[in-house]
Amino acid sequence: MKNVLIATKNKGKAKEFESLFSPRGYEVHTLLDYENATDVEETGTTFAENAILKAETIAKELNQVVMADDSGLVVDALDGRPGVYSARYAGEDKNDEANTQKLLKELKDIPAEKRTARFYCVLALASPNQETITVSGYVEGRIAESPAGTNGFGYDPVFYVPEKGKTMAELESAEKNAISHRANALKELEKELDLFLTREGGSR
């Protein structure tokens, strides 16, 4: 069995990737399986830079295929913020509640039609044997005036999806996973994955 490392300590996130890699003969591992792997500092200014940085650094270090993602919230009225700083928008400690409150405060006087936003995700698949590939996915919505729903994390309670008439945190998990930015990025990855893994097999 060949291995692919998903550069995350989030088991739920790894499970999403499992359905892609397992049928192709790859066993999925996470950073929880590699205690000594470098904790890569996300110093990039774009989602793509951060995803590539994580994937390539760990792929080189462990000499294996590594999948990394970087994602966040992009708000038009805030010139794209919080963007790559989504997880630490209110400070160095990751605090969902504080981040959300800061966001709502900044949008306080912005009317509903100008509160457009999207969740954006970039996936990078790297190997020491070949060039890294990146794909992206997003889901459009707008920022609600107050949080609603409990089924989610991060900015989900204030990310309103017009076609569903609900915030992300009000959607059932299956419904959310079907339309999420990561799900859309995974669909893009699937289009390129077989070629990448074929090249990988041929380079050993």
- 156 has binding-site annotation: yes
- 9 has binding-site annotation: yes
- 114 has binding-site annotation: no
Active site residue 70: yes
Residue 50: burial class (beta carbons within 10 Å; 0-12, 13-18, 19+): buried
Q: Over 32-100, what HEC string results? A: HHCCCCCCCCCCCCCHHHHHHHHHHHHHHHHCCEEEEEEEEEEEHHHCCCEHHHHHHCCCCCCCHHHHH
- 29 has binding-site annotation: no
- 71 has binding-site annotation: yes
Among the listed residues 69, 70, 76, 93, the single catalytic one is 70
- 153 has binding-site annotation: yes
User: What's the N-to-C CA distance of the chain in angstroms?
Assistant: 14
Q: At 54, phi and psi to the nearest 5? A: -65, -50
- 13 has binding-site annotation: yes
- 154 has binding-site annotation: yes
**How many other C-beta atoms can be found within 10 angstroms of the C-beta atom of residue 158?**
28
- 12 has binding-site annotation: yes
- 182 has binding-site annotation: yes
- Give the SS3 label for residue 163: coil
* Of 160, 9, 8, nearest in space to 73 by CA: 160
Binding residues: 8-13, 41, 70-71, 153-156, 176, 181-182
Binding residues for Mg(2+): 41, 70
Just list the catalytic residues. Answer: 70
Binding residues for substrate: 8-13, 71, 153-156, 176, 181-182
